[in-house]
Chains A and B, each alone.
Chain A
Amino acid sequence: MSTRTDLDMEREQREWEAQEIALRAERGGASAGGDTRVAQYRLIARALRNQRLDPWPSDFVARTVARVALEARIASESVEVWLERALVTLLVLAGAVTVLVYNGETLRELSFTLPESTAVGLQTIMSWGAAVAACVGVSWAFELVRKR
């Protein structure tokens, strides 16, 4: 296994300095000096600064922004669709479980007629109102979180 000697390191340091001097001279547009090594590195630095890269399309910004906007919209919509499906599935499952567990008894006992007494009627209206308000609140909070 070979080891680097002080002489190697010194030689490499000199070479590195020539590379860096050439780079700075090219950036600054300095006139050509007498050092052959630096002059050769200047030619290399010049080639590196004039590389033939493929140009980016003139409509790159517009296309990129449009794609990002589209993907953001799709991502947002897919979350909503997923939540909607999950809620519907949950509802169907809950209904099925109820029917299985109570053997249809509960369904028969359900009554959608208005309550007879005013006190009970007010209580029912208030509890349903609270439920509606809760739904609206949850929807509004979800929308707020989604916008952020």
Chain B
Amino acid sequence: MGSSEPPSVDADRVLVAAVLAQAPGAFETLVRNYQRLCWHIINRMVRHPDDTRDLCQDTFLRVHRYLYQYRFESALGTWIGQVAYSVARRHLERKRIPLAEPAGDGDAANSIEQVPDGFDLEAASADAELDALLHAEIEALPPLQRTVLTLYHLDEVPIHEIARITGLAAGTIKSHLFRCRARLRGQLQARMGGVR
């Protein structure tokens, strides 16, 4: 889950063994491989760049300290993601920022009812106002939902791995994805309805 393809399980085993043996450069490789995933999780949770940097460092500090406890029961990226998520969650709890909002059927149910006659994807994509609207709505999502959407869409992490990272059931993750995307479509519909 680095900048391109995630390292293979075998490569992770070799890397973990090298870090535990304190091989020169091994831990640096581990950080390089997983900094993107860690940064995305924490940045989507807390959003503040300075906090993100500090919490990412805390995450890798914990990874370094507790790597001997890692038993390869999940991918190394998932394990590091779990650590990053719990570090960010504790930070939000300390600041009394709610992690998620209670699931409500209203927005999602309303938006899926309405389907306009036509929609020009490329024209809509070039519309700066729509683009700004969608980004603002994504930013306005609660930390958990924002993180789940980012992991699924941007980092292409499968649902079962997001479930492991967050400690939630796969069904809950699916529900968050479904409702958030339906809600975003509802907001898109509302804006398009005003335009068309």
Taking beta carbons and an 8 Å cutoff, which residues of A are in contact with B? 8, 11-12, 15-16, 19, 23, 27, 32, 36-37, 39-49, 51-54, 56-57, 60-65, 67-68, 71-72
Contacts and interface: CB of A to CB of B under 8 A. Distances in A.
Contacts of B61: 67-68, 71
Given A11-B112, A16-B178, A51-B138, A43 B124 contact: yes
Interface of B is mostly: helix
B56 A64 contact: yes
B181 A43 contact: no
A51 B35 contact: no
A56 B53 contact: yes
B108 to A, nearest CB: 8
A72 B63 CA distance: 12
A37 to B, nearest CB: 5
A15 B43 contact: no
B27 A65 contact: yes
B52 interface: yes
A100 B177 CA distance: 74
A76 B151 CA distance: 36
Interface of B: 27-28, 31-32, 35-36, 39-40, 43-44, 47, 49, 52-53, 56-57, 60-61, 64, 109, 112, 115-122, 124-125, 130-131, 134-135, 138, 149-150, 152-154, 156, 174, 177-178, 181-182, 184-185, 188-189
7 contacts: A11-B112, A15-B178, A32-B122, A44-B181, A47-B184, A48-B153, A49-B154
A19 to B, nearest CB: 5
Interface centre among B35, B134, B153, by most chain A C-beta atoms within 10 angstroms, is B153
B31 A64 contact: yes
B156 A61 contact: no
Given A32-B121, A49-B154, A54-B49, A68 B188 contact: no
B28 to A, nearest CB: 5
Nearest to B63: A68
Given A19-B178, A36-B115, A56-B35, A64 B60 contact: yes
Given A12-B112, A51-B150, A43 B130 contact: yes
A41 B131 contact: no
A39 B117 CA distance: 12
Given A11-B112, A12-B112, A61-B32, A36 B40 contact: no
Contact of A23 (B121, B134, B153): B153
A72 to B, nearest CB: 7
Contacts of A41: 181, 185
Q: Which 10 A-B pairs have the closest CB atoms?
A: A48-B153, A47-B134, A54-B49, A32-B121, A36-B119, A39-B121, A39-B119, A15-B112, A56-B39, A68-B64
B196 to A, nearest CB: 12
Contact of A43 (B49, B134, B149, B154): B134
Contacts of A48: 138, 149-150, 153-154
Contacts of B134: 43-44, 47
A60 B53 contact: yes
